[in-house]
Structure 1
Amino acid sequence: MPGVRTFLGLLAALAACGVVAFLGYCVYFDRKRRGDPAFKRSLRDKRRAEQPKAKERGAQLWDPANEKLQELLHEVQMGELWLSRGEHRMGVEHLSNALLLCGQPQELLKVFKVTLPPKVFEMLLHKIPLICQQFEADMNEQEYLEDDPD
Protein backbone atom coordinates (compact mmCIF):
# COMPACT_ATOMS: atom_id res chain seq x y z
CA MET A 1 0.00 0.00 0.00
CA PRO A 2 2.91 2.45 0.46
CA GLY A 3 3.21 2.68 -3.34
CA VAL A 4 -0.43 3.78 -3.71
CA ARG A 5 -0.09 6.32 -0.92
CA THR A 6 3.08 7.72 -2.45
CA PHE A 7 1.41 7.90 -5.83
CA LEU A 8 -1.64 9.68 -4.39
CA GLY A 9 0.64 12.07 -2.46
CA LEU A 10 2.56 12.91 -5.63
CA LEU A 11 -0.70 13.34 -7.52
CA ALA A 12 -2.02 15.72 -4.83
CA ALA A 13 1.25 17.67 -4.86
CA LEU A 14 1.10 17.99 -8.64
CA ALA A 15 -2.50 19.15 -8.46
CA ALA A 16 -1.57 21.73 -5.81
CA CYS A 17 1.33 22.92 -7.97
CA GLY A 18 -1.02 23.19 -10.93
CA VAL A 19 -3.47 25.27 -8.93
CA VAL A 20 -0.68 27.53 -7.65
CA ALA A 21 0.69 27.92 -11.19
CA PHE A 22 -2.77 28.79 -12.55
CA LEU A 23 -3.35 31.37 -9.81
CA GLY A 24 0.09 32.86 -10.46
CA TYR A 25 -0.75 33.04 -14.16
CA CYS A 26 -4.02 34.82 -13.37
CA VAL A 27 -2.39 37.30 -10.99
CA TYR A 28 0.46 38.04 -13.43
CA PHE A 29 -1.80 38.78 -16.39
CA ASP A 30 -4.32 40.68 -14.27
CA ARG A 31 -1.55 43.00 -13.03
CA LYS A 32 -0.27 43.35 -16.57
CA ARG A 33 -3.79 44.18 -17.82
CA ARG A 34 -4.47 46.68 -15.03
CA GLY A 35 -1.12 48.38 -15.58
CA ASP A 36 -1.81 48.91 -19.28
CA PRO A 37 -2.56 52.61 -19.96
CA ALA A 38 -5.07 51.71 -22.69
CA PHE A 39 -7.04 49.56 -20.22
CA LYS A 40 -7.12 52.36 -17.66
CA ARG A 41 -8.25 54.84 -20.30
CA SER A 42 -11.03 52.57 -21.57
CA LEU A 43 -12.17 51.87 -18.00
CA ARG A 44 -12.29 55.61 -17.22
CA ASP A 45 -14.24 56.31 -20.42
CA LYS A 46 -16.70 53.52 -19.66
CA ARG A 47 -17.31 54.81 -16.11
CA ARG A 48 -17.81 58.38 -17.36
CA ALA A 49 -20.32 57.16 -19.95
CA GLU A 50 -22.28 55.23 -17.28
CA GLN A 51 -22.42 58.09 -14.73
CA PRO A 52 -25.17 60.16 -16.43
CA LYS A 53 -27.23 57.04 -17.07
CA ALA A 54 -27.03 56.01 -13.40
CA LYS A 55 -27.98 59.50 -12.23
CA GLU A 56 -30.91 59.55 -14.65
CA ARG A 57 -32.15 56.14 -13.45
CA GLY A 58 -31.80 57.23 -9.83
CA ALA A 59 -33.71 60.42 -10.52
CA GLN A 60 -36.49 58.46 -12.18
CA LEU A 61 -36.81 56.04 -9.26
CA TRP A 62 -36.86 58.57 -6.44
CA ASP A 63 -38.21 61.66 -8.15
CA PRO A 64 -40.63 63.24 -5.65
CA ALA A 65 -42.67 64.50 -8.57
CA ASN A 66 -43.30 60.92 -9.68
CA GLU A 67 -47.06 60.53 -9.35
CA LYS A 68 -47.03 56.78 -8.87
CA LEU A 69 -44.49 57.02 -6.06
CA GLN A 70 -46.50 59.76 -4.36
CA GLU A 71 -49.66 57.69 -4.65
CA LEU A 72 -47.88 54.64 -3.20
CA LEU A 73 -46.56 56.64 -0.25
CA HIS A 74 -49.99 58.17 0.30
CA GLU A 75 -51.62 54.72 0.44
CA VAL A 76 -49.01 53.47 2.92
CA GLN A 77 -49.51 56.58 5.09
CA MET A 78 -53.28 56.17 5.00
CA GLY A 79 -52.89 52.50 5.95
CA GLU A 80 -50.68 53.45 8.88
CA LEU A 81 -53.14 56.13 9.95
CA TRP A 82 -56.11 53.72 9.96
CA LEU A 83 -54.07 51.08 11.79
CA SER A 84 -53.04 53.59 14.44
CA ARG A 85 -56.73 54.38 14.97
CA GLY A 86 -57.48 50.69 15.44
CA GLU A 87 -59.36 50.35 12.13
CA HIS A 88 -57.54 47.28 10.85
CA ARG A 89 -59.89 46.61 7.94
CA MET A 90 -59.46 50.10 6.44
CA GLY A 91 -55.70 49.97 7.10
CA VAL A 92 -55.40 46.66 5.27
CA GLU A 93 -57.44 48.10 2.40
CA HIS A 94 -54.98 50.97 1.94
CA LEU A 95 -51.94 48.72 2.36
CA SER A 96 -53.32 46.36 -0.28
CA ASN A 97 -53.75 49.37 -2.60
CA ALA A 98 -50.09 50.18 -1.95
CA LEU A 99 -49.16 46.60 -2.93
CA LEU A 100 -51.15 47.03 -6.12
CA LEU A 101 -49.27 50.24 -6.96
CA CYS A 102 -45.84 48.94 -5.98
CA GLY A 103 -43.39 47.86 -8.65
CA GLN A 104 -41.86 45.28 -6.29
CA PRO A 105 -44.68 43.97 -4.11
CA GLN A 106 -42.56 41.10 -2.70
CA GLU A 107 -40.14 43.59 -1.17
CA LEU A 108 -42.98 45.66 0.25
CA LEU A 109 -44.51 42.51 1.74
CA LYS A 110 -41.20 41.76 3.46
CA VAL A 111 -41.26 45.23 5.01
CA PHE A 112 -44.88 44.78 6.06
CA LYS A 113 -44.07 41.41 7.63
CA VAL A 114 -41.48 43.04 9.87
CA THR A 115 -43.43 46.19 10.72
CA LEU A 116 -47.05 45.09 10.98
CA PRO A 117 -48.64 43.16 13.84
CA PRO A 118 -49.08 39.47 12.95
CA LYS A 119 -52.89 39.73 12.93
CA VAL A 120 -52.87 42.63 10.47
CA PHE A 121 -50.24 40.97 8.27
CA GLU A 122 -52.37 37.83 8.14
CA MET A 123 -55.37 39.93 7.08
CA LEU A 124 -53.22 41.43 4.34
CA LEU A 125 -52.11 37.98 3.18
CA HIS A 126 -55.75 36.89 2.90
CA LYS A 127 -56.38 39.97 0.77
CA ILE A 128 -53.62 39.12 -1.77
CA PRO A 129 -55.80 36.93 -4.06
CA LEU A 130 -58.26 39.81 -4.31
CA ILE A 131 -55.37 42.14 -5.11
CA CYS A 132 -54.25 39.81 -7.90
CA GLN A 133 -57.77 39.71 -9.35
CA GLN A 134 -57.95 43.50 -9.22
CA PHE A 135 -54.58 43.77 -10.96
CA GLU A 136 -55.66 41.40 -13.73
CA ALA A 137 -58.91 43.30 -14.18
CA ASP A 138 -57.00 46.59 -14.42
CA MET A 139 -54.60 45.10 -16.97
CA ASN A 140 -57.45 43.71 -19.06
CA GLU A 141 -59.22 47.07 -18.97
CA GLN A 142 -56.02 48.81 -20.00
CA GLU A 143 -55.54 46.39 -22.92
CA TYR A 144 -59.15 46.95 -23.96
CA LEU A 145 -58.66 50.71 -23.92
CA GLU A 146 -55.44 50.44 -25.96
CA ASP A 147 -57.09 48.17 -28.54
CA ASP A 148 -60.15 50.42 -28.84
CA PRO A 149 -59.82 52.52 -32.05
CA ASP A 150 -61.83 55.45 -30.58
Structure 2
Amino acid sequence: MVSSKAVLGLCAGVSATLFIGYCIYFDKKRHNDPDFKKKLRERRRAQKAASSSGKRCKTVFPDMKDHEAVQRFFLQEIQLGEELLAAGDLENGVDHLCNAVAVCGQPNDLLQVLQQTLQPEVFHLLVKRLPTVAPRLMKAQTSNASLQEDDVE
Protein backbone atom coordinates (compact mmCIF):
# COMPACT_ATOMS: atom_id res chain seq x y z
CA MET A 1 0.00 0.00 0.00
CA VAL A 2 1.21 3.52 -0.85
CA SER A 3 1.48 5.98 2.03
CA SER A 4 -0.21 9.37 1.91
CA LYS A 5 3.21 11.09 2.13
CA ALA A 6 4.33 9.31 -1.01
CA VAL A 7 1.16 10.31 -2.87
CA LEU A 8 1.53 13.89 -1.66
CA GLY A 9 5.18 13.95 -2.75
CA LEU A 10 4.30 12.50 -6.14
CA CYS A 11 1.55 15.11 -6.65
CA ALA A 12 3.93 17.91 -5.66
CA GLY A 13 6.56 16.62 -8.08
CA VAL A 14 4.08 16.33 -10.95
CA SER A 15 2.69 19.81 -10.20
CA ALA A 16 6.18 21.33 -10.15
CA THR A 17 7.07 19.61 -13.42
CA LEU A 18 3.88 20.86 -15.07
CA PHE A 19 4.48 24.40 -13.83
CA ILE A 20 8.06 24.46 -15.12
CA GLY A 21 6.89 23.05 -18.45
CA TYR A 22 4.21 25.74 -18.62
CA CYS A 23 6.80 28.46 -17.96
CA ILE A 24 9.20 27.11 -20.56
CA TYR A 25 6.45 26.78 -23.17
CA PHE A 26 5.21 30.36 -22.80
CA ASP A 27 8.73 31.78 -22.59
CA LYS A 28 9.60 30.05 -25.86
CA LYS A 29 6.31 31.24 -27.39
CA ARG A 30 7.03 34.82 -26.26
CA HIS A 31 10.57 34.77 -27.67
CA ASN A 32 9.36 33.39 -31.01
CA ASP A 33 6.88 36.26 -31.39
CA PRO A 34 8.06 38.38 -34.35
CA ASP A 35 7.35 41.64 -32.50
CA PHE A 36 9.03 40.56 -29.25
CA LYS A 37 12.44 42.12 -29.93
CA LYS A 38 10.87 45.29 -31.30
CA LYS A 39 8.62 45.67 -28.24
CA LEU A 40 11.51 44.87 -25.91
CA ARG A 41 13.74 47.50 -27.56
CA GLU A 42 10.96 50.11 -27.38
CA ARG A 43 10.29 49.32 -23.72
CA ARG A 44 13.99 49.51 -22.84
CA ARG A 45 14.42 52.74 -24.81
CA ALA A 46 11.42 54.26 -23.04
CA GLN A 47 12.67 53.17 -19.63
CA LYS A 48 16.13 54.51 -20.37
CA ALA A 49 14.67 57.81 -21.55
CA ALA A 50 12.45 58.03 -18.48
CA SER A 51 15.27 57.26 -16.06
CA SER A 52 17.91 59.46 -17.69
CA SER A 53 15.68 62.46 -18.18
CA GLY A 54 15.62 63.41 -14.53
CA LYS A 55 12.54 64.82 -12.81
CA ARG A 56 10.51 65.73 -15.89
CA CYS A 57 10.89 64.24 -19.32
CA LYS A 58 10.81 66.34 -22.42
CA THR A 59 8.03 64.94 -24.59
CA VAL A 60 8.24 65.13 -28.34
CA PHE A 61 4.67 65.12 -29.60
CA PRO A 62 3.96 63.57 -33.00
CA ASP A 63 2.55 65.41 -35.98
CA MET A 64 -1.19 65.37 -35.30
CA LYS A 65 -1.90 64.96 -39.02
CA ASP A 66 -0.09 61.61 -39.07
CA HIS A 67 -2.72 59.27 -37.62
CA GLU A 68 -0.34 56.31 -37.35
CA ALA A 69 2.29 58.32 -35.48
CA VAL A 70 -0.36 59.69 -33.10
CA GLN A 71 -1.65 56.17 -32.44
CA ARG A 72 1.87 54.86 -31.76
CA PHE A 73 2.57 57.82 -29.48
CA PHE A 74 -0.73 57.29 -27.64
CA LEU A 75 -0.05 53.61 -26.99
CA GLN A 76 3.55 54.31 -25.97
CA GLU A 77 2.50 57.01 -23.51
CA ILE A 78 -0.21 54.81 -21.97
CA GLN A 79 2.26 51.95 -21.56
CA LEU A 80 4.98 54.20 -20.14
CA GLY A 81 2.52 55.85 -17.78
CA GLU A 82 1.30 52.50 -16.48
CA GLU A 83 4.85 51.19 -16.04
CA LEU A 84 5.98 54.30 -14.18
CA LEU A 85 2.91 54.26 -11.93
CA ALA A 86 3.50 50.57 -11.18
CA ALA A 87 7.13 51.41 -10.33
CA GLY A 88 5.93 54.12 -7.93
CA ASP A 89 6.97 57.12 -10.04
CA LEU A 90 3.66 59.00 -9.85
CA GLU A 91 4.94 62.30 -11.26
CA ASN A 92 6.31 60.95 -14.55
CA GLY A 93 3.58 58.33 -14.82
CA VAL A 94 0.87 60.98 -14.62
CA ASP A 95 2.77 63.17 -17.12
CA HIS A 96 2.76 60.35 -19.68
CA LEU A 97 -0.92 59.63 -19.11
CA CYS A 98 -1.64 63.35 -19.58
CA ASN A 99 0.19 63.25 -22.91
CA ALA A 100 -1.93 60.27 -23.96
CA VAL A 101 -5.14 62.07 -23.02
CA ALA A 102 -3.99 65.16 -24.92
CA VAL A 103 -3.57 63.29 -28.21
CA CYS A 104 -6.54 60.95 -27.70
CA GLY A 105 -9.41 61.23 -30.18
CA GLN A 106 -11.98 60.65 -27.43
CA PRO A 107 -10.47 62.05 -24.24
CA ASN A 108 -13.70 61.89 -22.23
CA ASP A 109 -13.99 58.14 -22.76
CA LEU A 110 -10.34 57.66 -21.84
CA LEU A 111 -10.76 59.76 -18.70
CA GLN A 112 -13.75 57.63 -17.66
CA VAL A 113 -11.66 54.47 -18.04
CA LEU A 114 -8.75 56.02 -16.16
CA GLN A 115 -11.07 57.16 -13.38
CA GLN A 116 -12.24 53.58 -12.92
CA THR A 117 -8.75 52.04 -13.05
CA LEU A 118 -6.52 54.54 -11.26
CA GLN A 119 -6.42 55.27 -7.57
CA PRO A 120 -8.50 58.38 -6.75
CA GLU A 121 -5.48 60.49 -5.70
CA VAL A 122 -3.59 59.57 -8.88
CA PHE A 123 -6.63 60.39 -11.02
CA HIS A 124 -7.04 63.79 -9.30
CA LEU A 125 -3.38 64.53 -9.95
CA LEU A 126 -3.95 63.62 -13.60
CA VAL A 127 -6.97 65.93 -13.91
CA LYS A 128 -5.04 68.69 -12.15
CA ARG A 129 -2.13 68.38 -14.63
CA LEU A 130 -4.21 68.15 -17.82
CA PRO A 131 -4.42 71.92 -18.41
CA THR A 132 -0.63 72.15 -18.54
CA VAL A 133 -0.38 69.65 -21.41
CA ALA A 134 -2.45 71.56 -23.98
CA PRO A 135 0.00 74.50 -24.24
CA ARG A 136 2.92 72.07 -24.67
CA LEU A 137 1.02 70.23 -27.41
CA MET A 138 0.15 73.49 -29.17
CA LYS A 139 3.74 74.68 -28.91
CA ALA A 140 4.98 71.39 -30.36
CA GLN A 141 2.50 71.62 -33.24
CA THR A 142 3.46 75.19 -34.08
CA SER A 143 7.16 74.30 -33.99
CA ASN A 144 6.45 71.27 -36.24
CA ALA A 145 4.56 73.52 -38.65
CA SER A 146 7.38 76.07 -38.75
CA LEU A 147 9.92 73.30 -39.34
CA GLN A 148 7.82 72.01 -42.23
CA GLU A 149 7.59 75.52 -43.71
CA ASP A 150 11.38 75.85 -43.47
CA ASP A 151 11.74 72.51 -45.30
CA VAL A 152 9.58 73.81 -48.16
CA GLU A 153 11.77 76.86 -48.75
Q: TM-score, normalised by structure 2?
A: 0.49
- More relative contact order in 1 or in 2 (CA 8 Å, sep 6+)? 2
Q: TM-score, normalised by structure 1?
A: 0.50
